[in-house]
Structure 1
Amino acid sequence: MAEHKRWIDEGFEEGVFLMTGSLSGNQGGLVIAHGTTREVLEERVARDPFVKEDVVRVEIAEFAPNRADGRLQFLVDRA
């Protein structure tokens, strides 16, 4: 778990991760990433210790925002 947390910390430190958290019903976790390509994100995800050890199954979904609360407008402006 410590290595996985370090992997998450790196994502935040490098400005790629905006938010992480647990899904309800013990269904796993979610990472919201921004400012990267799918290819680079896939490479980053492949380095997650949970992925390397087959603890989790990964699904990457791309999202193109077109409207947001003012606090998140930067996501729309950069999309």
Structure 2
Amino acid sequence: IKFRAPRLAKDGQLQDYPRFISAHLNDQLVQKNIIAKGPTRAAQRAGWATKDHIFIQGDHGPIAFRKFKVTPEDFSKIKK
């Protein structure tokens, strides 16, 4: 999953929604350039954050992950 966090102004106001740049499952692209206009119902906090914990939501049955890694990336050049 390549995810770009929301862009916030210095006063905390939302400037640009978070975006799922791409998401792959079993090496297949399943989502591309999806804008997230709000958190899921399982969100742990109210409001927007540019950095936070990663939560894996698997409440509809068994779920397993393999080769899960987190690496920072520079998404500053992505246009709206």
Q: Same fold (TM over 0.5)?
A: no
* Structure with more of its chain in strand, by fraction: 2
TM-score (norm 1): 0.30
* Structure with more of its chain in helix, by fraction: 1
